Amino acid sequence: MRRLILLATFVLAATPALAAEFYVVKNTATQQCSILQQRPSGSTQQIVGSVHSSKIEAEQTLNQSPLCNSNQGTQGQGARSPMSPPQSR
């Protein structure tokens, strides 16, 4: 019985560590969006959408969100993920 309780405690404690969370975040100072694995804490960071369980979902939100695809980026190309391939001109 003691082993069962110990095992259950361990599983419950380890479960949040195994769940990955991805955030699409817009930096309001630079108008650029990026994907983070930790909840943003800065006052210049705005979460776009909700928490995503996979990086693919976060990338889809980044590519489809009007907040991240506006032409208000610092270089006039719109904001993109730092992991996205360069856009052709």
Q: What 3-state DSSP class applies to 71?
A: coil
Per-residue pLDDT, 58: 93
Is 27 a member of any domain? Answer: yes
**Parent domain of 36:** 20-69
Residues in the chain predicted with pLDDT less than 50, given as ranges, are 71-81
d(CA 58, CA 64): 10
Judging by DSSP bridges, how do beta strands 45-52 and 32-36 pair with one another? unpaired
Q: Using one digit for the tens of pLDDT, what is the confidence trace for 55-77?
A: 999 999 999 999 887 644 433 33
Number of separate domains in the chain: 1
Residue 12 φ then ψ, to 5° = -65, -35
Let me know: does 25 contact 35? Beta carbons within 8 Å: yes
Is 44 a member of any domain? Answer: yes
Of 24, 31, 65, 30, nearest to 47 by C-alpha is: 24
Is 11 a member of any domain? Answer: no
